[in-house]
Amino acid sequence: MAVACDKKGNLYGAAAQGGSLGRGLVFELSPSPGGTWTETILHNFADDDTDGGIRMAGVVVRGNQLYSTTEHGGAYAWGLRIDLP
């Protein structure tokens, strides 16, 4: 699994399986004091006509947006864009 990093030092990744719906997820790891990390689930893939399912590639950070591709589904059939906080 490849991860991407933003300007704040947060790491982002995507998994093909797991998450609350079992079809994959996108996560953020943020550095915390004391050398630990805080995990935040940014998206659980629903694997339906409006959402993707089963991650195909890593993630890319561009500005305040995060991109990844999925095996099927999604509004554009092959990807997902998540606006970062």
| 3 Cβ neighbours under 8 A, 6+ residues apart | 11, 12, 13, 29, 58, 59
Domain ranges (residues) in the chain: 4-83
Interior angle at CA 73, CA 70 and CA 78, nearest 5:
45
Structure tokens at 34: 């004391």
Q: Which helix (H) or strand (E) holds 72?
A: strand 65-73
Quick: pLDDT tens for 5-48: 998 999 999 888 888 888 788 899 999 989 999 999 988 887 66
- Would the pLDDT of 80 be above 70? no
The pTM of the whole model exceeds 0.75: yes
